[in-house]
Amino acid sequence: MNRTGYLGDLLGQLVERRFAPLRGSSGKPVTEMCANLLAGAGEVSTMRLAREILGAYARMDDAARRDFFQHLAQDYDLHPDAVVQAALSYAASRDARQLRLLLQTAEPRRQELLRRLNHAPGATKELVRMRRDLLALLPEIPELARVDLDFAHLFQSWFNRGFLVLRQITWESPASLLEKIIEYEAVHEIGDWEALRARVDPKDRRCFAFFHPAMPDEPLIFVEVALVKGVPGSVQALLADGRKPLDPAQADTATFYSISNCQKGLQGISFGNSLIKQVVALLQQELPHLRQFVTLSPIPGLSGWLRDRAEGGDSSIQALLDGPDRLDEAGQMRLRRLAAHYLLDVKDKRDRPRDPVARFHLNNGALVHEIHATADISPRGLKQSCGAMVNYLYDLDQVETYHESYAAQGKVAATRAMRQLARAGQD
């Protein structure tokens, strides 16, 4: 037998089967197959059983999936008494063998089950979808949060920054990928193919996305960038139909105007920090004359906070809520002051900035640079923030300092003008 030829044929078969559809046909209960998967030791049997289980899960209805997750929560949980005993044994001996036993005992068996499920071809993508289903059940069945902790723990390792691949999305990218950019856009809706082309094709526009080798055709997160002169104050102006593209050599500012997470099953797994910093590095290499890196970001919690204030007796705010697209100059200034106060001073129950987008950028080391009224007059923009938007500035010489101050002390970095605006908004 030609050993080299045999090995080549075998590898060829594995590659061909890599993206074959997942479908199980054994007819055995999933609970039994899961037990067998944990009990087995062979690579081939592990792959086969993992494939069977994931295929069976894909065919489950909502009730069956609820039962499956409850089975994981109840039958694959920790045994607290065993953990305590293992901890006491290690405390007494402090040797490697007892530490290994403690670590094994303190890990829910669900984690090993999920690792073995990931042996099946295409399993990573299926497990991300499985967690998406799990997250949808948490409000109804909060005890399933135990299961989600294990998914999140493993995904933080599997989707480590070292495994991610940055790719630029262009008009020449595969149509299937471009369709997903349209589908996953979460900040400013892309209405059709021409609208997408206006974001990825002109010479003053860029789009970058992170991918994972186990999910090569599925973007994890993407960012859209506009190369402009000066700091922009209107997303409608950035996305205007028929605008004349700017020569990138004349641009002095890169504006991140949309960041969209694509996989609901990866909620809580942070990619945005690394994405922005790597895109900044790439743009600096390509266009070293760029002087500023800013965002044009929504303020998604602003309208809700203003409604709370109005319902609490501040009747003067109601005019902002009733006609945010018709504000005169005084109304726009009032909105900017209140927005500054909201971003810099209003906290959540954990004493963090109440606005989720603010938390993201401030934790990345950005500072609050400017606030604009009537910056997003789309129905969504008017509804969520009365049309206001904010520029967060990434000062590359200060991002680490700002990040450390925010992480250690909760300090919100902001320009002097924004602090003055926030003080006026307190009155």
CB-count exposure of residue 374 (10 Å: 0-12, 13-18, 19+): buried
* Residue 312 counted as domain residue: yes
For 45-83, letters b (16+ CB in 10 Å) and e give: ebbbbbbbbbbbbeeeeeeebbebbeebbeebeeeeeee
Tokens at 266, concatenated:
């990866």
* Residue 1 counted as domain residue: no
Q: If you average pLDDT over every residue of the chain, what do you get?
A: 92
Q: From CA 399, how far away is CA 393, in angstroms rounded? A: 9
Q: Give me the count of residues in the chain.
A: 427
Rounded average pLDDT over 284-289 = 96
**Are 130 and 224 part of one and the same domain?**
no
Q: From CA 423, how far away is CA 282, in angstroms rounded? A: 38
Residue 6 reports pLDDT greater than 80: no
**Are 302 and 291 part of one and the same domain?**
no
* Residue 11 counted as domain residue: no
**Are 307 and 396 part of one and the same domain?**
yes
Task: For the chain, state the CA radius of gyration.
Answer: 26
Number of domains the chain contains: 3
**Are 105 and 233 part of one and the same domain?**
no
Q: What is the pLDDT of residue 26?
A: 61
Longest pairwise C-alpha distance within the chain: 87
Which range (29-43, 200-214, 235-249, 333-347) has the least confidence?
29-43
Neighbours of 127 (CB within 10 A): 23
Residue 24 reports pLDDT greater than 90: no
Whether the CB-CB separation of 206 and 249 falls below 8 Å is answered with no
**Are 350 and 239 part of one and the same domain?**
no
* Residue 81 counted as domain residue: yes
* Residue 270 counted as domain residue: yes
* Residue 196 counted as domain residue: yes
**Are 374 and 417 part of one and the same domain?**
yes
Domain that holds residue 256: 162-295
pTM of the model: 0.88
Q: From CA 368, how far away is CA 416, in angstroms rounded? A: 10
Closest CA to 367 of 292, 425, 258: 292
Residue 5 reports pLDDT greater than 90: no
Q: What is the pLDDT of residue 93?
A: 95
DSSP state of 20: P
CATH number for the domain spanning 414: value is 3.40.630.150
Residue 106 reports pLDDT greater than 90: yes
CATH number for the domain spanning 148: value is 1.20.140.90
Of 276, 295, 314, the residue that ends a domain is 295
- The DSSP-derived string for 53-85 is HHHHHHT--HHHHHHHHHHHHHHSS--HHHHHH
**Are 234 and 362 part of one and the same domain?**
no
- The DSSP-derived string for 375-403 is S--SHHHHHHHTT-EEEEE--TTTHHHHH
**Are 390 and 310 part of one and the same domain?**
yes
Show the 3-state SS of 203-256.
Answer: CCEEEEEEEECCECCCCCEEEEEEEECCCCCCHHHHCCCCCCCCCHHHCCEEEE
CATH number for the domain spanning 177: value is 3.40.630.180
* Residue 144 counted as domain residue: yes
